[in-house]
């Protein structure tokens, strides 16, 4: 049967965008290397032309330099064309990646939408409103219970705050009067020390000693009775 119909050929898968881009980039690098090599050769020919005198030799060098320059222009055109192809492939790759991301986003949104619909079936707005109303009623009842439990006993209802403040001030005034009437302990009283500077003392008589009256006794420089010189000699 294979001889009649032939065997099935194994077809290779088509290259991906990344494979094609890598291949073109390699070709572009090869062309770029050739252009650099031509630049080096052109610099050498330029130096030789400057050193050579005008004549057949210089014309030959210029002809070679012109051929190299034409090759360089050709390679530069190929390089630009390859770079344009790479740019186009990159644009297609970006578009393909964007479409893949959009597909994944749509799949995730569909799955989330399905889950939300299933969850919304178990949650009803009316049930939430009823629960909120019940909670408010319970809070009101709790407040009434707390107010009832916190009510004071044996307190008249018709009390006025101004009257109470007046009674409190009158009570404080009565307590102050009782404190002044009872007196203050001695250790709390201010010190009433005698000011000795204000006490008048009798002045010391000047020039009077134990000598007999009518006889004035000499005094030394300190105001004391002077000692006789005869007693000092003896």
pLDDT digits (tens, 9 = 90+) for 165-210: 788 788 878 776 655 555 554 545 555 555 555 555 555 555 554 5
Greater confidence (226 vs 97) lies with 97
Share of the chain above pLDDT 90, in %: 15
Number of domains in the chain: 1
Q: How confident is the prediction for the chain on average, in pLDDT?
A: 77
The pLDDT of residue 28 is above 80: yes
In a domain, 216, yes or no: no
What residues contact 225, with CB distance under 8 A and at least 6 apart? 209, 211, 217, 218, 219
In a domain, 44, yes or no: yes
In a domain, 41, yes or no: yes
| Paired tokens of 98 | 């964007």
Residue 187: per-residue pLDDT: 46
| Paired tokens of 3 | 């001889």
Highest mean pLDDT among 2-6, 36-40, 200-204: 36-40
Residue 160: per-residue pLDDT: 67
In a domain, 126, yes or no: no
Q: Which domain holds residue 86?
A: 17-114
Whether this prediction's pTM lies above 0.85 is answered by: no
- What gap in Å lies between CA 10 and CA 45, rounded to an integer? 54
In a domain, 1, yes or no: no
């Amino acid at each position: 049967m294979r001889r009649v119909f032939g065997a099935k050929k194994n077809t290779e898968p088509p290259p991906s965008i990344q494979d094609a881009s890598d291949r073109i980039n390699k070709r572009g690098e090869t062309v770029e290397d050739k252009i650099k090599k031509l630049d080096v050769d052109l610099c050498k020919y330029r130096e030789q032309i400057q050193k050579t005198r005008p004549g057949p030799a210089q014309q030959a060098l210029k002809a070679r330099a012109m051929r190299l320059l034409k090759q360089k222009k050709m390679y530069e055109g190929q390089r630009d064309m390859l770079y344009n192809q790479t740019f186009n492939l990159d644009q297609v790759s970006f578009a393909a990646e964007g479409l893949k991301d959009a597909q994944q986003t749509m799949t995730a949104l569909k799955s989330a939408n399905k889950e939300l619909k299933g969850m919304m079936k178990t949650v009803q707005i009316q049930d939430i409103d009823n629960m909120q109303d019940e909670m408010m009623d319970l809070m009101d009842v709790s407040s009434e219970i707390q107010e009832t439990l916190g009510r004071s006993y044996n307190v008249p209802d018709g009390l006025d705050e101004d009257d109470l403040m007046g009674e409190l001030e009158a009570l404080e005034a009565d307590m102050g009067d009782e404190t002044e009437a009872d007196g203050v302990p001695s250790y709390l009283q201010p010190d009433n020390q005698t000011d000795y500077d204000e006490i008048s003392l009798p002045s010391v008589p000047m020039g009077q000693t134990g000598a007999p009256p009518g006889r004035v006794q000499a005094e030394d420089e300190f105001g004391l009775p002077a000692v006789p010189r005869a007693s000092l000699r003896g």
